[in-house]
Amino acid sequence: MAVGRVERVPLNRQLWDRFVRVVKRFTSDPEVGRTALLRFGLLILLLFGINGLNVVNSYVGRDFLTAIADRDKAGFVTQALNYLGVFAALTAVAVIARYTEESLGLLWREWLTRRSLTRYLEHKNFYRLRLAGEIGNPDQRIADDVRTFTVTTLSFTLMLLNSSFTVVAFSGVLWTISPLLFVVAVLYAGGGSYLTIRLGRPLVRLNYDQLDKEADFRSSLIQVRENADAIALLDWEARLQARLLRRLKDLAANFRKIIRINQNLGFFTTGYNWLIQIIPALLVAPLYFAGKVEFGVVTQSAMAFTVLLGAFSLIVTQFQSISSFAAVIVRLGSLAEEIDAVDSERRTEAPAIEVVPDEGQVAYDRLTLRSPRSGRTLIRELSIAIPHGRRVLVAGPDETARASLLRATAGLWDAGEGRIVRPSLDRIMCLTERPYLPSGTLRELLLRTQLERDVPDEPIRDVLQALNIESILIRFGGLDTERDWGGILSLGEQQLLAAARLLLAAPRFALLDRPASALDPERVQDILDLLAQRSISYVTFEETVGALGRYDEVLELLTDGRWCWSSVENGWKAELRQGGD
């Protein structure tokens, strides 16, 4: 779990700028912007219609109750029919508005999720973000926060517009009944909004923390599911239970703070809402007693006051949702800004390690690699060349040193200096120690993206047969059946499938990270033989120097950045060069 830095959640201009920036990008997008604006325009028209019908409804309701008070049977029937007509129209307009709002929200969510995913995955930004450690739970931000942001933004925008229309529509109604009642509504809503902000402001920070704590707890549970075998074998249930309970305790403690603030806020907002029901009667009833207004005006004033005050009191009634929404804006905004930062750093900063393209070799010229956190020198001034066709074993007890060289060759390690000569990254492929086998069809798993239909079945079957795993086709329904491969195959089978993917890709160079950790020596030798038969040069990274029969050179990574480069002849090493002293 990435801890990340503590982020402030301010209700200020920066929050507003983040919000506006996302909205502008959506509405100006050439693919969906026009559709979004048309749907939003339709929503505004529908809101006008709803508020106009509500005003008409207030007058119909007034006349309906007056007819009851006057025992006017004909007027009662007429107004009852009018009531039904207004209700039918309101129902139709409200349903269409709801459908338009939901379809617009889905369009926005799909666009923003697609954009966030693209930015997150391109140029290996996901990897750079993990190394930076500044952003916690980016997966939750892209999945859950995007959904919350789009739905809530649209909902709040429509509530704000609807409140504005309501103020315009019902201010005149309330003013004609009693100017004093209109002034009381404005002052009551203003005071209530101010006190709500003062009482509920801490919720913004607490809601932000709650999202991360919920994500941390869920992430820990997922780790238990994904590593069930290892946990059971190591008997680590008690340790994991303690960690999960700590996560739960943190989550619950933060939520208790939210509950306490909600309680205080609830005392105020509940009393605030109850008083709304009696204030109009207190001010208009004397006018009715004096015979200045009809009985229906009393109920009309109560309705108009309630509706108008609801429009003025948007902050009071929605502050808890607003506080959660502010946290979501900050989380999405900080993710976008951090991606921009790592991407800008990639484009603007000159790399400390120079990379020179050469399809014919992998070579290191005075290459020094360091730990990005501690600054410890892992490899010092490495200078060797591996021409295409050569087979090299890299060995050494320092796992970080081995990993740094593999990642630097693959373009993922930039802490150090010197020069790396290598083919383009699409001509180099890694076989990682723990294979990555996403869910999908076997064909998708084994072939490069967009080549699934260009490669016939026969070469795939030949490779699986060469690795003696063709039975997988029979056991799991052929090449085009979707499976969760990581959950149904043993680790050895997963590694062999990853090796098949490597052989089918046919790069010029293959980097093998500890293949013997998941496979027995005979299987590893079979893979190396198949690579050699297909003219794929390979560099194997292992902890110790083992059998040398399938290697031409050995690079031993010693302590304190030192190294030794040896030639292999008849299974014996002949030292060629040492370095790093």
361-405: pLDDT as tens digits: 999 999 999 988 788 999 999 999 999 999 999 999 899 999 999
Q: What is the mean pLDDT of residues 173-198?
A: 77
pLDDT > 70 fraction of the chain, expressed in percent and rounded: 89
Kindly state the tokens that stand for 75. 């007027």
* In the predicted structure, residue 575 carries a pLDDT above the cut 90: no
Please give the radius of gyration of the chain, using alpha carbons only, rounded to the nearest integer. 34
The hierarchical CATH code for the domain 27-348 is 1.20.1560.10
| Secondary structure of 14-33 in HEC code, one letter for each residue | HHHHHHHHHHHHHHCCCCCH
For position 426, what pLDDT does the model report? 86
pLDDT classification of 299: cutoffs 50, 70, 90: confident
Name the more confident of 489 and 391: 391
Site of tokens 């309501």? 166
Q: What is the mean pLDDT of residues 289-318?
A: 69
**Domain 353-579 class, CATH top level:** alpha beta
For position 9, what pLDDT does the model report? 47
pLDDT > 90 fraction of the chain, expressed in percent and rounded: 27
> For 400-453, what is each residue's pLDDT tens digit?
999 999 999 988 888 899 999 999 988 999 998 888 888 888 888 888 766 656
pLDDT classification of 313: cutoffs 50, 70, 90: low
For position 205, what pLDDT does the model report? 79
For position 530, what pLDDT does the model report? 95
For position 418, what pLDDT does the model report? 93
Spell out the long-range contacts of 101-106 with Cβ–Cβ below 8 A and sequence spacing 24 or more.
101/43, 101/154, 101/155, 101/158, 103/39, 104/36, 104/39, 104/40, 104/43, 104/154, 105/150, 105/151, 105/154
404 within 8 A of 364, measured Cβ to Cβ: no
Listed in order, the ranges of the chain carrying CATH 3.40.50.300 are 353-579
Nearest-10 crossing angle of helices 314-348, 237-289? 140
* In the predicted structure, residue 489 carries a pLDDT above the cut 90: no
The reported pTM is: 0.64
Q: Which of 180-184, 286-290, 348-352 shows the lowest per-residue confidence on average (mean pLDDT)?
A: 348-352
Listed in order, the ranges of the chain carrying CATH 1.20.1560.10 are 27-348
pLDDT classification of 34: cutoffs 50, 70, 90: very high
For position 128, what pLDDT does the model report? 76
Q: What is the mean pLDDT of residues 536-555?
A: 90
pLDDT classification of 539: cutoffs 50, 70, 90: very high
Q: Distance from CA of residue 285 to its chain's centroid?
A: 56
> For 75-111, what is each residue's pLDDT tens digit?
888 888 988 998 899 899 989 988 998 899 899 989 9
